[in-house]
Chains A and B, each alone.
Chain A
Amino acid sequence: MTSPSSAPFLSIRNLAKSFGSFIALRGIDLDIRRGEFVCFLGPSGCGKTTLLRAIAGLDLQDSGTIEMGGRDVSHAPPSERDFGIVFQSYALFPNLTVADNVGYGLVNRRTPARDIARRVDELLALVSLSDQARKFPIQLSGGQQQRVALARALATSPELLLLDEPLSALDAKVRVRLRDEMRALQQRLGVTTIMVTHDQEEALAMADRIVVMNGGAVEQVGSPEEIYRRPATPFVADFVGHMTFFDAVVTGPGRVRVDELDLLVANAAPFPAGTPVRLAMRPEEVRTRGVSDETPNSFEATIGDLAFLGSFCRAHLEPTRSQKTRIAADFSANAMRDLGIQPGQVRSIAFPPESLHVFAGAAR
């Protein structure tokens, strides 16, 4: 992998933009290193596309600066910024062949026709579409169109590749295959890439770093694992993966209480006793295999309804001591079979202290 160099390739400072009374971006600060694959992740309306378009120069920000490769491009039009872009719609030129689409940006640069043809062949080979060169976009499948758009964006060897929800128009299967291909291609070319997506799975699978956005602000920046394992805010915890939230009260250092349950938390929260907090836990972290009375945070619970979801089952559990508390737990198909889990059973379960996240504030 490319080692991060000292100076960031893309440097965004205090970027803000509003549309009328709607604030799309609230003072965004972000550094992106050369060769990185970064995903902007968030729900619709969180400002991720606005941020991408500001980086491209397609919609200028109201205030703040953007530096690209050490050059201030805050007010430069798109054509003075060095990037290639793939849109959700692909925006392929319908009246031009695949080859002409890919070579579109080369024609204008007074490159000899022979060289253009050679470069187009090279790019089509790169996205495995050499045999489709003479077809028109409408004759291609969605996945092929997406690859043409990618080849066209890469044709001019840009330093930055921008992808605006490039996979969201595709079928689930094709989407998974293409995201692996795109990731491999990006690693091979080493081109700095920013992808906008609302699909957390896509972001987790592809990105070196994820920028989680909400309400025009950055909630957290980190590697996929950091985002998943150590969400910085309840929003991130809730948006990435599944998370069950409990209202809790701090009872001492490393101790919280949820209704009738006293629980240990590993990441010692700096809250004084008596503070209302929100406790969060992922359903797949609920343990039931090999739980004894010695296991920390163990208690008995009744298995409520079970929803079959293929490779795992989602169960709703009611602790015997605290019947108001509802807990979601995912049990793998293996565990279901080995342990013979059935609705109505009472089982010992445990919350591993290191899997509990404590956030400030009571419930909304």
Chain B
Amino acid sequence: MTDSVQPIAITPAQARIGSVRLNERHVAGALILALCAVLVLIIALPLWALLSKSLEDVNGRFVGLANFIAYATTPTLISSLGNSLFVAGVTTAIVIPVAFLYAYALRRSCIPGKGLFYAAAMVPVFAPSLLSGLALIYVFGNQGLLKSWMMGASLYGPIGIIAAEALYSFPHAVLILVTALALSDGRLREAAEAMGTTRWRMFRTITLPGARYGLISATFVVFTLVITDFGIPKVIGGQFSVLATDAYRQVVGQQNFPMGAVVGIILLVPAVLAFFVDRLVKRRQSAMLSARAVPYAPKPEPGRDIALLGFVILTTLAIVAPYAIAVWGSFVTYWPYNLALTLNNYDFAAFDPAGWDAYRNSLLLASLTAVIGTTLIFTGAYLIEKLKLFPRMRAFAQFLAMLPMAVPGLVLGLGYVFFFNATWNPLGFLYGTLAILVINTIAHFYTVGHITALTSLKQIDGEFEAVSASLKVPFWSTFRRVTAPICLPAILDIGVYVFVNALTTVSAVIFLYGAETKLASIAIVHMDEAGAIASAAGMATVIMLTAIAVKLAHVGLDRLVFGRLQQWRQR
């Protein structure tokens, strides 16, 4: 062998490429087709089943709008619609101003400990929604510590629902408003200050208009979350019926599928509305800030900062204290008469036949959903965003991927019941298995993950695929060697998001679990129904701690990934 440098005889391009490309096109087509098929199966068909079921009678005959007319003329049913609107409206009216001020303090003031306050506001995200209901029962319920504060009014009803929903929806509003308030052009304020504008006028003419789209978006999100939530009214609603509990009662209690479908469709309305408003708002918001805007950096103002700090501390206490009391309550022997600590309440088998298996099932569900869901979501987003072939099919897949955002979990769960329970459906065997829970949970949380993946993919140079094609490297090689490694942080984000939500969700899976696949969040509902509140709180605590632990691990892993595995990001 000589060491002289010679050009390598590279296989003449034309000879080999023909076969490679043929494969590549076929593979791309097959993958996009498969994606469409999967999305139709897990999203479109269940929704179609729900819609068609609402137009049938109990025997499956087409009856047009008869069910809707029956709904509107049954006083007990129509009254829950009023109840739902009332509860969601009041909760929104309470949460939005508080969350706005909270977000304002975090973004536009110089209070200390912003990171801590932000994290504290996020606590409810990591717990099943019912935990806030349980927490309020511990404080203000019949055996509550501060029952006297209720002045004779009953917690079990609209008061409890509104309070618990406020706790539960608070972080979602804060999340949106913090983002909205982050977008502001500091030069506007400087110009206003130079002209001697008063603080109140500045707030009215600069701050509020700047955050207006965030406020609209947050209002719709909170309203939708509350009106479609099932866990809290179930735990704390007493005799006060709302749409979500009606849907459950119609389907699970009375086996009246068509009427359940009607309630589901009514629940779909605010969510679909919120979805379109959100899209409209996003489009406007992106146009609002020019690339040359200077971010606003708040300057210390002792008076304002101390007032806001006081407000933030009080709000944080109001959010975190109930959860802390619920955790404490789960260790208490007999609330509130014997406050001695015990682990007895964590012997779940004594209160619910599934025992700790429910937790194991939840972990299994969350892990499987995270792994399979993230793979599907990210690969799907890649196919939709980066492959230039089959534009119609990709647009269809994109539409289906965005659909779950407009579908509350409860409604999707109903759709699954109708679709997978149908006698004609060969997939009926999935009903009650872990598989259907995984599929449903992936579909339920698909859109947020999809948007995360799209955002991350859009940031990558759009010519990678073109370069690969010119080098005769098939797209899947580039996906494996370049795209996926670059998007690793986003992939982790999606995985953790799906995992945490799979752990805490109740609304969809409550219709779908089987005897062997009862989940922790459902066990909480059952233990609460059986009066074992301490154990219900215990199970919720275990879930919350698991979710927080996973989130912390994610933060750590993210640092590791950025530091060690992604050296190429650093100069």
A binding-site residues for B, Cβ under 8 Å:
56-58, 71, 77-80, 82-85, 87, 89, 91, 93-96, 104-109, 111, 115-116, 118-119, 121-122, 136-139, 152-153, 155-158, 162
Closest residue of chain A to B565 (Cβ to Cβ) is A95
**Given A77-B21, A91-B461: A82 and B467 within 8 A (CB)?**
no
CA distance A71 to B17 in the complex (A): 14
Does residue B201 face the partner (Cβ distance < 8 Å to A)?
no
24 residue pairs from A and B, CB less than 8 Å apart? A78-B466, A78-B470, A82-B14, A84-B471, A85-B466, A85-B470, A89-B461, A89-B463, A94-B486, A94-B568, A94-B569, A95-B568, A96-B482, A104-B471, A105-B470, A106-B10, A111-B8, A111-B10, A136-B567, A138-B568, A138-B569, A156-B10, A157-B7, A157-B10
We find that the number of chain B residues with CB closer than 8 angstroms to chain A is: 38
Q: CB-CB < 8 A to A89: which residues of B?
A: 461, 463
Does residue B13 face the partner (Cβ distance < 8 Å to A)?
yes
Does residue B11 face the partner (Cβ distance < 8 Å to A)?
yes
**Given A79-B20, A89-B461, A122-B5: A95 and B485 within 8 A (CB)?**
yes
The 9 lowest CB-CB distance pairs between A and B, nearest first, are A105-B471, A78-B469, A91-B463, A136-B568, A82-B13, A93-B482, A87-B463, A91-B461, A79-B21
With A56-B470, A58-B388, A87-B463 known, 9 other A-B pairs at CB within 8 A are: A79-B470, A80-B17, A80-B21, A83-B470, A95-B566, A106-B10, A109-B10, A138-B570, A162-B470
Tell whether, in the assembled complex, residue B469 and residue A119 are in contact, meaning their CB atoms are under 8 Å apart. no
Does residue B51 face the partner (Cβ distance < 8 Å to A)?
no
Contact with A along B1-44 (1 / 0, CB 8 A): 00001011011011011101100110000000000000000000
Closest residue of chain A to B14 (Cβ to Cβ) is A82
Q: CB-CB < 8 A to A91: which residues of B?
A: 461, 463-464, 466-467
Contact with A along B445-467 (1 / 0, CB 8 A): 00000000000000001011011
Tell whether, in the assembled complex, residue B568 and residue A87 are in contact, meaning their CB atoms are under 8 Å apart. no
Q: CB-CB < 8 A to A93: which residues of B?
A: 464, 481-482
Does residue B59 face the partner (Cβ distance < 8 Å to A)?
no
Chain B binding surface, main DSSP class: helix
Does residue B239 face the partner (Cβ distance < 8 Å to A)?
no
Q: CB-CB < 8 A to B477: which residues of A?
A: 108
Contact with A along B166-210 (1 / 0, CB 8 A): 000000000000000000000000000000000000000000000
Tell whether, in the assembled complex, residue B482 and residue A156 are in contact, meaning their CB atoms are under 8 Å apart. no
CA distance A95 to B481 in the complex (A): 9
Tell whether, in the assembled complex, residue A109 and residue B11 are in contact, meaning their CB atoms are under 8 Å apart. yes
Does residue B473 face the partner (Cβ distance < 8 Å to A)?
yes
Tell whether, in the assembled complex, residue A119 and residue B7 are in contact, meaning their CB atoms are under 8 Å apart. yes
Q: CB-CB < 8 A to B472: which residues of A?
A: 79, 105, 108-109, 156
**Given A105-B471, A122-B7: A79 and B16 within 8 A (CB)?**
no
Does residue B392 face the partner (Cβ distance < 8 Å to A)?
no
Q: CB-CB < 8 A to A122: which residues of B?
A: 5, 7
**Given A87-B466, A95-B485, A96-B482: A104 and B473 within 8 A (CB)?**
yes
Tell whether, in the assembled complex, residue B473 and residue A108 are in contact, meaning their CB atoms are under 8 Å apart. yes
Tell whether, in the assembled complex, residue A87 and residue B11 are in contact, meaning their CB atoms are under 8 Å apart. no
CA distance A121 to B4 in the complex (A): 12
B28 nearest CB across to chain A (Å): 10
* B13 contact from A85, A95, A156, Cβ within 8 A: A156
Contact with A along B409-432 (1 / 0, CB 8 A): 000000000000000000000000
CA distance A83 to B472 in the complex (A): 10
Does residue B144 face the partner (Cβ distance < 8 Å to A)?
no
B binding-site residues for A, Cβ under 8 Å:
5, 7-8, 10-11, 13-14, 16-18, 20-21, 24-25, 388, 461, 463-464, 466-474, 477, 481-482, 485-486, 566-571
**Given A91-B461, A96-B482, A138-B568: A115 and B8 within 8 A (CB)?**
yes
Q: CB-CB < 8 A to B467: which residues of A?
A: 85, 87, 91, 152
Q: CB-CB < 8 A to B568: which residues of A?
A: 94-96, 136-138
B285 nearest CB across to chain A (Å): 26
CA distance A122 to B571 in the complex (A): 26
* A77 contact from B5, B25, B463, Cβ within 8 A: B25
Q: CB-CB < 8 A to A116: which residues of B?
A: 8
Closest residue of chain B to A85 (Cβ to Cβ) is B470
CA distance A78 to B462 in the complex (A): 15
Residue of B5, B13, B470, B567 most packed against chain A (CB within 10 A): B470
Q: CB-CB < 8 A to A109: which residues of B?
A: 10-11, 16, 472
Q: CB-CB < 8 A to B566: which residues of A?
A: 95
Q: CB-CB < 8 A to B468: which residues of A?
A: 104
Q: CB-CB < 8 A to A84: which residues of B?
A: 470-471
* B471 contact from A77, A94, A156, Cβ within 8 A: A156
CA distance A158 to B570 in the complex (A): 33
B470 nearest CB across to chain A (Å): 5
Residue of A56, A94, A139, A155 most packed against chain B (CB within 10 A): A94
Closest residue of chain A to B469 (Cβ to Cβ) is A78
CA distance A118 to B1 in the complex (A): 13
Residue of A56, A80, A93 most packed against chain B (CB within 10 A): A93
Q: CB-CB < 8 A to A56: which residues of B?
A: 466, 470
Closest residue of chain A to B472 (Cβ to Cβ) is A79
Q: CB-CB < 8 A to A77: which residues of B?
A: 21, 24-25, 469
* A79 contact from B469, B567, B569, B571, Cβ within 8 A: B469
**Given A78-B466, A87-B466, A108-B473: A95 and B482 within 8 A (CB)?**
yes
Q: CB-CB < 8 A to A71: which residues of B?
A: 14
CA distance A94 to B483 in the complex (A): 10
Q: CB-CB < 8 A to B570: which residues of A?
A: 138
B9 nearest CB across to chain A (Å): 9
Q: CB-CB < 8 A to B14: which residues of A?
A: 71, 80, 82
CA distance A155 to B7 in the complex (A): 10
Tell whether, in the assembled complex, residue A95 and residue B466 are in contact, meaning their CB atoms are under 8 Å apart. no
Q: CB-CB < 8 A to B469: which residues of A?
A: 57-58, 77-79
CA distance A38 to B477 in the complex (A): 33
Closest residue of chain B to A164 (Cβ to Cβ) is B463
B565 nearest CB across to chain A (Å): 9
Closest residue of chain A to B11 (Cβ to Cβ) is A109
